[in-house]
């Protein structure tokens, strides 16, 4: 099975914070399949099984249905990847959700507050992943076993990854490491610039102990580490006030130079059920691995596919092959995304758009997986999913249209791409542009991506075409619906304010300026109430 790390989820891994003395942890579980902190070292296999729990914490709700790590009214809603995707997508020009659940409308219109449940979900889930990692590191401290040293490096990577998102979304979260131990105490707050330094230092420290680039998919390895360093440095000015473009380029160079990685021949392979390295897709660097049989849940690619399917304009039963999971008709793109992906509204270059080409099949850029619905305009924030632009980028089928080896009629087996090689090229292009302006090197990196998109050099650009807006738009064309957009817009100064408005931004049809304090989300109100060490972000 291609994602065998997930076959061990039947083991219950209890790595929650305990409030007990050391002797209390020295116990033997009644269930032999149950792993407790005190017996983690009893069997070497337990270490790998516990590590799998750390990875799983980002993509599923718990051990199984009804056995969630965090109890909520709708477990699918509050899985890390799904809630994170919402914060990164429907708050922007990329997406808008038609559902009336509490908190969604506020995300659609940039009008959230500290009580928004999706903010709470991401915050609590990321904090839980950090707790799991801290406990794992605490228990395995001092081990000289080569495998355990590697596992510890992976756990530290996952902790840094969780802290990266807390830094990006909330700026100044509570901060703990394995050195804080366990028990009842109030974690202290860390400032964004200090957390940036911790993440960078941590990633550099673990790099030697991780597997070689491309050797450990879907787990973290050196290539994964380089990508998170590049991504952190890419946004350094946002996080610290000082740009660090040269450092971003350094780690992009490492990724691009590695023989382990190459662009997929076809863009769509990255979003199909066989998009993993085990099926020959060497563009994938790191992903949330999904399996329709062994990692069932409504929080990952199944969510993106089905929430974007309406049964009329995009039918999951035929396009995506999940017949036992009905079309949810919730998420759609705003017309502003279509305006970026399609070169012009009325033509593809010099070819008129036929009124019958509702799926943009004539577009020369083959990254376009959009559908024109009843109207490209969304008349109200609560209008049904029949309005706007449908997105069918992800599929539960293999790249050739066949069913996955681990096919399920209900849940997709498509990995969610976290880091792809294409991102290294576009990050490097942006870094070089910001230090040297529009150069041949910048154009070369961008054209690597566009030649794959067009199938030839007909979409290639020249130095005169390159500016900051073009780079931002090219990132939208390449990474739409992959959870990058909010961070990109913030970095380019276009998420809030009035320089760039999109439909229903700020709650008006044509979009309006919003306050800059929305560039950072509020720390959830529950945390502020519970922890006297935490000061709320400005504006909330």
pLDDT at position 125, please?
A: 93
Of 158, 164, 150, nearest to 133 (Cα)? Answer: 158
Mean pLDDT of the chain: 88
CA–CA dist 401, 95 (Å, integer): 26
| Joined tokens for residue 445 | 């990196």
- Top-confidence residue, 297 or 212: 212
Q: Is 314 exposed, middle or buried (0-12, 13-18, 19+ CB in 10 A)?
A: buried
Contact 283, 419 (CB under 8 A): no
Q: Which residue has the higher pLDDT, 279 or 358?
A: 279
Q: Percentage of residues in the chain with pLDDT exceeding 70?
A: 85
Supply the pLDDT for residue 240: 98
Is residue 387 within 8 A of residue 375, CB to CB? The reply is: yes
Q: What is the pTM of this model?
A: 0.91
For residues 449 and 71, which has the higher predicted lDDT (pLDDT)?
A: 449
Q: Where are the domains of the chain?
A: 4-259
* Sign of the dihedral through C-alpha 448, 449, 450, 454: positive
On the question of pLDDT at 4 being above 70, the answer is no
pLDDT digits (tens, 9 = 90+) for 180-230: 876 678 999 999 999 999 999 999 999 999 999 999 999 999 999 999 999
Residue with more model confidence, 75 or 474? 474
Q: What is the pLDDT, as a whole number, of residue 358? A: 86
- pLDDT higher than 80, residue 344: no
Q: What gap in Å lies between CA 92 and CA 485, rounded to an integer?
A: 7
Tokens coding 368 = 């376009």
How far apart, in Å, are the Cα atoms of 373 and each of 5, 348, 465? 40, 19, 32
DSSP element (H, E) containing 447: helix 440-454
361-387 residue pLDDT tens: 888 899 999 998 999 999 999 899 999
**Which secondary structure element, helix H or strand E, spans residue 13, and what is its range?**
strand 12-14
4-259, CATH topology level:
1.25.40
Phi and psi for 379 in degrees, rounded to 5?
Answer: -70, -30
Angle at 189 between CA 187 and CA 193, to 5 degrees: 140
The string of DSSP letters for 59-120 reads: TSSEEETTEESS--S-TTTT-HHHHHHHHHHTTSSS-EE----TTHHHHHTT---TT-HHHH
Within 109-190, where are the H helices? 117-140, 146-170
Q: Is the pLDDT of residue 13 over 70?
A: no
> Over 80: is that where the pLDDT of 325 sits?
no
pLDDT at 72 over 60: no
């Amino acid at each position: 099975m291609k994602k065998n790390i997930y076959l061990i989820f039947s083991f219950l891994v209890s790595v929650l914070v305990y409030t007990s003395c050391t002797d209390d942890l020295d116990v033997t579980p009644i269930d032999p399949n149950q792993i407790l902190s005190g017996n983690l070292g009893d069997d070497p296999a337990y270490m790998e099984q516990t590590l799998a729990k750390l990875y799983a914490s980002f993509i599923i709700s718990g051990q199984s249905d009804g056995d969630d790590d965090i109890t909520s009214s709708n477990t699918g809603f509050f899985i890390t990847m799904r809630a994170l995707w919402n914060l990164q997508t429907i708050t922007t020009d990329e997406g808008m959700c038609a559902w009336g659940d509490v908190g969604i409308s506020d995300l659609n219109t940039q009008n959230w507050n500290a009580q928004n449940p999706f903010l709470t979900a991401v915050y609590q889930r990321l904090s839980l992943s950090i707790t799991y990692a801290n406990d794992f590191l605490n228990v395995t401290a001092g081990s000289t076993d080569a495998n355990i040293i590697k596992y510890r490096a992976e756990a530290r990577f996952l902790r840094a990854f969780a802290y990266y998102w807390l830094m990006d979304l909330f700026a100044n979260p509570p901060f703990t490491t394995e050195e804080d131990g366990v028990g009842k105490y109030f974690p202290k707050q860390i400032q964004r610039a200090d957390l940036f330094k911790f993440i960078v230092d941590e990633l550099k420290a673990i790099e030697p102990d991780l597997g070689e680039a491309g050797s450990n998919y879907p787990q973290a390895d050196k290539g994964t580490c380089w990508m998170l360093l590049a991504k952190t440095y890419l946004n350094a000015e946002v996080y610290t006030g000082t740009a660090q473009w040269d450092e971003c380029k350094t780690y992009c160079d490492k990724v691009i130079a590695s023989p382990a990685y190459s662009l997929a021949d076809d863009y769509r392979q990255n979003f199909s059920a066989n998009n993993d390295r085990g099926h020959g897709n060497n563009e994938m660097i790191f992903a949330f691995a999904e399996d329709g049989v062994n990692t069932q849940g409504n929080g990952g690619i199944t969510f993106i596919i089905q929430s974007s399917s309406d049964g009329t304009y995009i039918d999951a039963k035929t396009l995506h092959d999940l017949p036992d999971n009905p079309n949810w008709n919730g998420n759609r793109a705003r017309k502003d995304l279509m305006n970026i992906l399609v070169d012009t509204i009325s033509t593809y270059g010099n070819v008129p758009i036929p009124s019958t080409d509702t799926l943009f099949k004539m577009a020369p850029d083959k990254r376009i997986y959009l559908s024109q619905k009843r109207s490209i305009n969304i008349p109200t924030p609560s209008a049904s999913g029949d309005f706007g632009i449908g997105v069918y980028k992800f599929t539960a089928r293999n790249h050739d249209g066949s069913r996955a080896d681990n096919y399920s009629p209900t849940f997709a087996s498509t990995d969610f791409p976290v880091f792809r090689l294409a991102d290294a090229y576009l990050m490097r292009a942006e870094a070089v542009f910001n230090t040297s302006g529009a150069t041949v090197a910048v154009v070369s990196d961008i054209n690597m991506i566009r030649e794959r998109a067009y199938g030839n050099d007909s979409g290639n650009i020249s130095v005169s075409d390159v500016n900051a807006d073009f780079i931002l738009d090219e990132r939208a064309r390449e990474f739409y619906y992959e959870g990058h957009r909010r961070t990109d817009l913030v970095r380019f100064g276009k998420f809030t304010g009035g320089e760039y408005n999109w439909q229903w931004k700020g709650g008006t049809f044509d979009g309006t300026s919003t306050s800059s304090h929305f560039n950072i989300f509020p720390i959830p109100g529950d945390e502020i109430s519970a922890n006297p060490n935490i000061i709320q972000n400005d504006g909330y």
